Amino acid sequence: MTQDIYLTGITTTGTPHIGNYVGAIRPCIEASKDKSKQNYYFLADFHALAKAEDPERIARSSLEISAAWLALGLDTDNAVFYRQSDIPEIPQLTWILTRMTAKGLMNRAHSYKAQVQANVEKYSQDPDKGINMALYSYPILMAADILMFKSTKVPVGRDQKQHVEMTRDIAQRFNHHYGDILVIPEAVIGDDTAVLAGLDGRKMSKSYDNTIPLFADEKQLRKLIMKIKTNSIEPGEPKDINDSTLYDIYKAFAQPDEVREIEKRYEDGIAWGEMKQVLFEYINEHIKPARAEYQRYIDDPAEVERVLVKGAEKAREVSVPYLDQIRHAVGIRKLG
């Protein structure tokens, strides 16, 4: 068996928050340093286009996500870090795969179905209201991302699992027609303990508007942490760690012995206000050095651009010859 190739994409529609950090950024950055692993990480800006209409937001998000990953120590010598839109082979492969995708398969995509369902509930005459073709065929673009680099493992959240299953379907159908050319990937689903709750206690997500931006400045960080929802248990009363967003966030950042210490303080009835202060100070200290680096990158977008261009060059060492092979297989060939 050849070595596993890990690949994952980040849609450029928002500002990185601490939920992204704990669930995806931190584990990916760790993995990027592992010389025994081959990793591809990319900004899925064509995917962002399917979801967002505001050009400034897509561009800004691309800068913020890149700056965050670089500031946190992504190893760009070992891992391949690039922007999807810098790889012209990806949209070409998307079209070739579109030919191999049953319309019925796309009809079954959860995200598409959820939108149709919402429309049926709101405007019964037009179930497809607001749904553009990019959103509808989003899973085919994602299949191209994955298959373009022969990846075997795709780390994603649970909500993306179906898309990886669809990628497998599409690739198998392609191989059945054209020979054994595409590599069949597998989803790697992060464990649920890595999912943080947000300010209101629901999953931290930009769609709920309940996030704590990873590089919020000190003042904003304090303000947001003070807003985290708690229950009405009084200071001095023992508190339950199993139902506490403050505890979960602390645990995601702190060392095991520090976590045990906090568990004791919960038993002893720490006041919520005090716990918020403890959490603020901890996260602030933890993030401070990277925050300065982040700001340096934000202020120097040309430097970020250079890193991305270099990443794309590395990525295209694979995608250019591989796409040639794929084009040849489907009959798109030079005539002489």
Which residues make up the interface to ligand TRP (CB under 6 A)? 7-9, 11, 44, 47, 142, 145-146, 154, 156, 160
**3 state DSSP class of 197:** strand
> Please, which residue, 167 or 244, has the CB nearer to ligand TRP?
167
Q: How many Cβ atoms are within 10 Å of 136's Cβ, its own excluded?
A: 18
Instruction: Please give the single-letter amino acid code of residue 48.
Output: A
**3 state DSSP class of 33:** coil
Do 198 and 209 form a contact (C-beta atoms < 8 A)?
no
Q: Tell the residue number behind the tokens 């309940």, with chain if given.
A: 210
How many angstroms separate the Cα of 263 from the Cα of each of 195, 222, 239, 241, 270?
20, 22, 9, 7, 10
> Please, which residue, 155 or 225, has the CB nearer to ligand TRP?
155
CB 203 to ligand TRP: min, Å:
14
What's the CA gap between 102 and 46, in Å, rounded? Answer: 22
> Please, which residue, 171 or 278, has the CB nearer to ligand TRP?
171
CB 11 to ligand TRP: min, Å:
4
> Please, which residue, 278 or 326, has the CB nearer to ligand TRP?
326
CB 262 to ligand TRP: min, Å:
32
> Please, which residue, 142 or 279, has the CB nearer to ligand TRP?
142
What's the CA gap between 330 and 336, in Å, rounded? Answer: 17
CB 74 to ligand TRP: min, Å:
16
Radius of gyration of the chain (CA): 22
CB 164 to ligand TRP: min, Å:
7
| Residue nearest to ligand TRP according to CB distances in the complex | 9
